[in-house]
Every structure is written in structure tokens, then in C-alpha cells.
Chain A
Amino acid sequence: MEELALHLLDLMENSLAAGACRLELKIREDIAANLMAIELVDDGRGMEEGEIKAALDPFFTTRTSRRVGLGLSLFRATARQCGGDLTLSSRPGAGTRVAVIMELNHVDRPPLGDMGATIAAALARELPLELYYRHERDGKVFEFSSTRLKEILGDIPFNLAPVLTWVRDFVNGGLQKLYGGEDRL
């Protein structure tokens, strides 16, 4: 995938498929340490130890429509190529944590991409999803909280186009500020 934001949407889809109602996504970019650290925590059904090992094997999947699962092994390959790794920790009933680290300035590191569209896509659901996203870049922080959004919107659902386009543009605008107006999103 060409953007980290697409990998992250894919991870969030795994969480949703595992029945998660709450997602917490944290991204930290540390320029001095040349590090990009990503963490996604969900409250889904979690995985057994054997399932965790198998989940990183491209030939394992619990899906029935195709015999190979792609998401996790693909992202891990990208992370390793960028001098980092992807690790999974999980317990049945206790949710799942996916952690990814990469060298920030590695030539093969995919750009962050359209995080606004990714967050909007994750929220476009019939069932409400609690989503917290925190992005830190060299001490500057952007935060998005669907709980706060819900407080403001009251009984207006998230899955209406004006709401989701607002979310998309709000997130991208906030990130743009972290980058100090640089074009690189």
C-alpha cells in the first residue's frame, strides 16, 4: 500500500471485524531519534497465543472467502524494510495492540498519506465507534476524539456526508499544522 494511512485503515478494519467498539491510535514522529512509532489498541475479542503467531503468517486467516490474510504480514514487511518491525500483543477477551516502528527518514517508508480520509472511513458505520487519534511530531500534538465529536453533535449520526467530510478536513488541517505548513502530509 502506498500510504501508512491505508495500512492503518486496514488495521482498524481488523479491529472492527474483531468486534471492537473502541480504538486508540497513536502516532509519534521523533525527528532527532529518526523514529516513527505507531500504536493501535482495540477492545475487540483478542487472540490466542497461537493465533497471534499465525496472524503474521500470510497463509493464515480466519476469513473464509480467501485463503490468505494479507493485512498484517504486508504491513510487517513494510516496517521491516524500513529498519523497524510490527509486533502484536493480545489476549482473548482483552483486546489487541499492534505496534509498528520505522526509521522516520527511511527512503522506503511510505508517506503518512490521507489520514483524514482514513479516520472518516473508519467512522462511517451504522454502529457507533469510539475513536481516539493522537499524533505527535517533535513535541507538537494533534488530537481527535470521536467522544468529543459526539458531545457536540448530539443525536446527529456520524455517517452523514457533511459530518464525515468535516472530520476528514479537520484531521488533515490539524496534521498540516504539525508539519508547519509543509506540503508533506
Chain B
Amino acid sequence: MKSVEDLLKLKEEVQQSLALRDEGEKIRVVVGMGTCGIAAGAREVMSAVLDEVAKRRLTNVAVTQTGCIGLCAQEPLVDVLIPGKPRVTYGKVNAQKARQIVAQHVVNGIVIREWVVNK
């Protein structure tokens, strides 16, 4: 059970790590949360991304969701936006793939080509 004390501790940790780096633009991970995405497991994908990013204590990563992007057959969809690089969209992501996307792409900048959706 998480408590308000845990939240205060977390706040301190985040503040410290934000103070360590010069406030550059954040990496963004965006999960598509339309009906098709939700039905295909987008919420579990988001949960896995959150766990992986939190575990690695990456405070330069913002995790957000967005409504339907109109690629229903490819849901769940995950976008990775690294400042200065082109947006990469992954399709048919599950929790396990999501963790790998964080480990390889977000952390090391290596795109996992075989999961990228061709628009």
C-alpha cells in the first residue's frame, strides 16, 4: 500500500534528480488510448512503460497518452519522441515489447525496426 509519506519521499527524489540536470527537453513516450487501443491492451502497455521507466529512475522521460490515432488494426500503438530525432511509432505493442522499447530505444537510442509501423 502506497502512502502519502511515500509520495513526499518520491517528490524529494524527483526534485533532486531534476536539479541535477539542466532542464533540457524531455523524451516522450506516448501510448494511444482510443477504444481500439484500450481493447487491445493499451492500458497494460502504459503500465509496463511506467514500471520500466520508474524502475530505471529515468526522470527525463514523460509518459503520456493520446486519443485514437486512426491506426486501429495496429493497436496498441506507442510513439517514442526523442528531442532532435524523428518520431518513431511502434505497433501491436504488448507489455513485454513495451519494456524492451524502454530498455533499448528510450535508454540507448536504438530503434527496434521490426516493430515500427510503416505509415
Contact = CB atoms under 8 A, between A and B. Distances in A.
A10 B35 CA distance: 6
A165 B51 contact: yes
B74 interface: no
Interface string A4-36: 001001100100110000000000000000000
A177 B2 CA distance: 12
Contact of A9 (B10, B13, B38, B64): B38
A65 B68 CA distance: 9
A117 interface: yes
A107 interface: no
Contacts of A122: 65
A38 interface: no
A121 B2 contact: no
B44 A117 contact: yes
A56 B50 CA distance: 34
B101 interface: no
A63 B54 contact: no
Contacts of B104: none
Interface stretch (A47-55, A88-96, A151-159): A151-159
Contacts of B1: 169-170, 173-174, 176-177
**Chain B interface helix/strand/loop/mixed:** helix
Nearest to B10: A162
A169 B70 CA distance: 31
B47 A159 contact: no
A153 B63 contact: no
Interface in B43-100: 43-44, 46-47, 49-54, 57-59, 61-65, 67-70, 72
B114 interface: no
Contacts of A9: 33, 38, 43
Contact of A165 (B3, B50, B69): B50
A7 B9 CA distance: 33
Interface string B1-16: 1111011101101110
A149 B11 CA distance: 11
Nearest to B67: A17
Given A121-B43, A170-B2, A160 B65 contact: no
Given A65-B69, A124-B46, 7 more contacts: A9-B38, A13-B34, A121-B33, A153-B11, A163-B14, A166-B6, A170-B7
